[in-house]
A and B are shown apart, each in its own frame.
Chain A
């Protein structure tokens, strides 16, 4: 109870006081601001590559093959004389689709499996969790690889492969959350009022359980893009004339000694995006929790 009183005392401080919380602003908020800008910019690239990219991704300048970064080509050109910056910008859309779609599908399925398992418990939980554990014994990238290899290349198949490999993680987290939340007193209090079970599930259990899933999803977004890129890198990705980030990495691999920029910049783009999304995910979790959103 003492701790609670301590937090209570902090509550009355207004939420955002930039003048007073200088340290807070300069470090934490600057990061979030930067991350937000990066994410927005990359999403814009994915939506409107034509307006942002300086060149067409298919335009080959044969006079400028493998030229290092310069003022005309910021990221240099590849072995066909294509502009790497434009390729990265055009490639962003496929990478984002793989990341977001697979997280949504994996998170949704995993979340449902986990909540069913955690809510009902007993025999259902035992059976479902053993199945999930079987899935977990196979490393995620290997599972995705197997699925992609079985289904053949294609955007939808990659999404599916990445989604399936991420299901066990979401399911376990959601199950744990539900098991702990369903024992909380306010759930019983609601039951004692006479609230029907489905309402308890929707009103009390879900809203209090899903915030770790959200954080996991933001981290998962990065992982999914990486796995997707990995599959493309291995040649199991989308075969199109405009490669995604993973395929770009893979194509540049052979030229690493003569043209380091071909695979370095797509790699940096992946890293930057994943990092930014993670920072935002952390912030989101804090904001969604009424307790931390006030004390911050």
Chain B
């Protein structure tokens, strides 16, 4: 096959205040015509830098290509001047980014931005360019393209914008499309739609795609070949089937094992890679993965393994041949003993569960007035964030809450903790109506209900030392002496697996996973009964995600905690939750025990959500019945069943009559006229 792009020994340095920092080193890869290549890796692995280096976008970020070549169609992009490069960008290479909102200029209309791109690169008249823009918007599945042409970026949803960005990238018919995490910021349903679109246009326009992702499931579904990067180097390079069948590098193996799937065993602990990815400034000597590698030897810590050919693929491990043959390579390593232990514990907790409700939520609603600019103007309408939700959370269980963004799951959580006052309805905690408590009683109650946030960077005060952050609840609720407090915090640090010396450090000196541990330590400081984990692992890397989930589950067992686990990563929710509630447009549409929900979903929405999850197994292709369209605005929800606009089985009755939330089997509730 003919090579479209050929990168040889690429090295990229960034100029920093104190000298150069090497972001990627010795990266060699090629993409054939009509091929999709995925670069997979965690944050800091250099996958984005590689993709930006191809278009020389790093030039604008103090970066430079200090060695190697990037040959595209016989031209070395690494040597070209920016001026010459500009004539190639768009025509030969185009790029789409993770944040579609940030990639469009907010002061120009979508249309003018696409038309400008077309005019810049090809000999078109303005009229022809407009026609082409219309055609492209239509092709990427944007409804009413003529209307959208005149809209501004803020008037379009994230999914729409990502489609518009794809249209812009296609404007000049590029040979290579670079997609840098194109679906990471999107809901799983929209992700499925966009991935499908990418595959279609790849065929249609005869392009090659370089896809950057951290999601093994996306890679499995899209890629012909996969490149795994770690700490700025390629560690493994193989075709998709080879990679998933038998990974050769311990890191790849770890990544694949950290994935939770729909059918993985819930009672087992998640496999996790120890530690976290090192910073570029202090890379370990020898093999960069050796501090986290369960198979590392002395040689690994001394000598850097080269990327070499093993069994028709490339891998950078000294012992690849031996390891692949070894017995426990295919087994989830290490924790077999612990696993059995945990199963027993879970069975125990199963019998304990169901005794008494901790939270009882009755007909809870939360509306926000919209169009209210100042206290003097009248409110006209409401945003129905949560409407008429009734359920209970039982003592000792983990209740999962899923739904697309905009479904009101976070608002529901916040109302439960009384961080927002409900518009109507009641929340009982330990049998007490929370809305009846005055401010002081409520503060006292907060001792027993704590929260962990999604963003570990934003949820801790950047000016406080870690010791003070974790000690804050103790300071507020218990009058401890300074020494007692210090001791308690040290204990907590140990419990969540942080070094005791972390006490005097500031949060920004920690990685994302470590900060989430700090947040967890703060949440358990007062020995609460209930913890709300709002997307607590969504922002973390795959390997770290597993560590945090395991920590949360260990804590639950040790401390008899009850969790409300809100997340959009369905696999993770399935793994941790005993029961799951599915929300759509502010309403609970289905509620069932975890296994039942995933094996026999009753609501069409739940089925659509589950079908949208990318499967991390290329051998198992599945007929996708991904959901069409996007979630409507909660300010103006559809009449009847709110889901009828997207439902494949909607009838006239669904359009008129709102279905009741009823129990179809024991413990399995659904709001659908016509359940599956």
Question: Measuring CB to CB, which residues of chain A are less than 8 angstroms from any residue of chain B?
Answer: 1-2, 4-13, 17, 20-21, 24, 122-123, 126, 184-186, 188-196, 199, 203-204, 207-208, 290-291, 294, 296
Cα separation A195 to B477 with both chains bound (whole Å): 8
Known: A13-B18, A21-B18, A196-B476. A185 touches B443 (CB 8 A): no
A188–chain B nearest beta-carbon distance, Å: 6
Q: B2 to chain A: which residues have CB within 8 Å?
A: none
* CB-based contact A193/B461 at 8 Å: no
Assess whether B444 is interfacial by the CB under 8 Å rule: yes
Q: A1-B539, A5-B44, A186-B460 are in contact. Are A192 and B509 (CB under 8 A)?
A: no
Q: Is B511 close to A, CB under 8 A?
A: yes
| Chain B residues whose CB sits within 8 angstroms of the CB of A13 once the complex forms | 18, 281
Residue-wise, chain B 362-403 has the 8 Å CB interface mask toward A (1 for contact) of 000000000000111000000000000000000000000000
A190, B470: Cα distance in complex, Å: 11
Q: How far is the CB of A271 from chain B (nearest CB, A)?
A: 31
Query: 1/0 per position for B415-458, CB-CB distance to A under 8 A?
Result: 00101000000000000000000000011111101110101011
B residues within 8 A CB of A17? 18
Indicate if the CB atoms of B446 and A194 lie closer than 8 Å: yes
Given A10-B281, A193-B472, the answer on whether A21 and B450 have CB atoms closer than 8 Å is: no
Cβ-defined contact, B460 with A189, below 8 A = yes
Complex alpha-carbon distance, A190 and B459, angstroms: 9
Contact present for B451 and A192 (CB under 8 Å): yes
- A–B complex contacts, Cβ < 8 Å, 10 sampled: A2-B43, A8-B508, A9-B282, A194-B443, A194-B473, A194-B476, A196-B443, A196-B476, A290-B506, A290-B508
A124 to chain B, nearest CB (A): 10
In the assembled complex, the Cα of A191 lies from the Cα of B522 at a distance in Å of 13
Please name 18 further chain A to chain B contacts, defined as beta carbons within 8 Å, in addition to the given A4-B512, A9-B279, A203-B472, sorted by A numbering: A2-B44, A10-B16, A10-B17, A11-B279, A12-B279, A13-B18, A20-B18, A185-B458, A189-B519, A189-B522, A190-B472, A191-B419, A195-B472, A196-B443, A290-B462, A290-B463, A290-B508, A296-B17
Interface string of B454-494 (1 = CB under 8 A from A): 01011111110000000011001100000000000000000
| Residue of A8, A191, A199 touching B279 (CB-CB under 8 A) | A8
Least CB separation from A194: chain B residue: B446
Chain A proximity mask over B208-226: 1 for CB below 8 Å, otherwise 0: 0000000000000000000
- Considering only CB atoms, which chain A residue lies closest to B541 in the complex? A1
Min CB distance, A29 to chain B, in Å?
Answer: 13
Given the complex, which residues of A lie within 8 Å of B460, measured CB to CB? 186, 189
> For residue A290, which residues in chain B have a CB less than 8 angstroms away from its CB?
462-463, 506, 508
List B contacts of A291 (CB < 8 A). Answer: 462, 506, 508
Considering the chains assembled together, what is the distance between the CA atoms of A2 and B46 in angstroms?
A: 10
**Identity of the chain B residue whose Cβ is nearest the Cβ of A295 in the assembled complex:** B17
Bits for B237-265, please: 1 = Cβ < 8 Å to A, else 0.
Answer: 00000000000000000000000000000
Q: Among A126, A196, A204, which residue has its beta carbon within 8 angstroms of that of B374?
A: A126
Contact A123 B461 (CB under 8 A): no
Assembly CA distance A241 to B472 (angstroms): 57
Q: Which residue of B lies closest to A197 (CB)?
A: B439
List of B residues within 8 angstroms of A189 by Cβ = 451, 453, 459-460, 519, 522
Contacts of B444 in A (CB 8 A): 194
With a CB–CB cut-off of 8 A, which chain B residues contact A191? 419
Main secondary structure of the interface of A (DSSP, over half): helix
> Which residues in A have their C-beta under 8 angstroms from that of B142?
none
Decide: A4 and B457 in contact? CB cutoff 8 A.
yes
Q: Are A193 and B476 in contact (CB under 8 A)?
A: yes
Binary interface encoding of chain B residues 264-306 relative to chain A, with 1 for a CB under 8 A from any of its CBs, else 0:
0000000000000001111000000000000000000000000
Determine the chain B residues whose CB is within 8 A of the CB of A195 once the complex forms. 443, 472, 476
Pairwise interchain contact B512-A294, C-beta atoms closer than 8 A = no
Cross-interface CB contact of A199 among B280, B458, B476, cutoff 8 Å: B476
B347 within 8 A of partner (CB):
no
B419 touches A21 (CB 8 A): no
B48 at the A interface (CB under 8 A): yes
Q: Flag if B375 contacts A207 (CB, 8 Å).
A: no
Closest Cβ of chain A to B654, distance in Å, is 38
A7 to B14 CA separation, bound complex (whole angstroms): 12
> Closest CB-CB distance, B318 to chain A, in whole Å?
26
With A and B bound together, what is the CA distance between A296 and B18 in angstroms?
10
For residue B80, CB closer than 8 A to chain A, the reply is: no
Which of A1, A9, A194 has the most chain B CB within a 10 Å cutoff? A194
Q: Closest residue to B16 on the A side, CB-wise?
A: A10
User: Which A residues lie within 8 Å of B74 (CB)?
Assistant: none
Given A126-B375, A290-B506, A291-B462, are A188 and B419 neighbors across the interface (CB < 8 Å)? yes
CA separation between A186 and B547, bound complex, in Å?
Answer: 23
Q: Does B19 contact A (CB under 8 A)?
A: yes
Q: Would you call B281 and A9 a contact (CB within 8 A)? A: yes
Residues from chain B with a CB closer than 8 A to the CB of A186 are 458-462
- Residue B103 is within 8 A (CB to CB) of chain A in the complex: no
Q: Are A193 and B462 in contact (CB under 8 A)?
A: no
- Considering the chains assembled together, what is the distance between the CA atoms of A42 and B596 in angstroms? 78
Shortest CB distance B661–A (Å): 28
Is B21 in the interface zone, CB < 8 Å from A? Answer: yes
With A21-B18, A294-B506 already in contact, the answer to whether A185 and B455 are too (CB < 8 A) is yes
| A7 contacts B508, C-beta separation under 8 Å | yes
Residues of A within 8 A of B445 (CB): 194
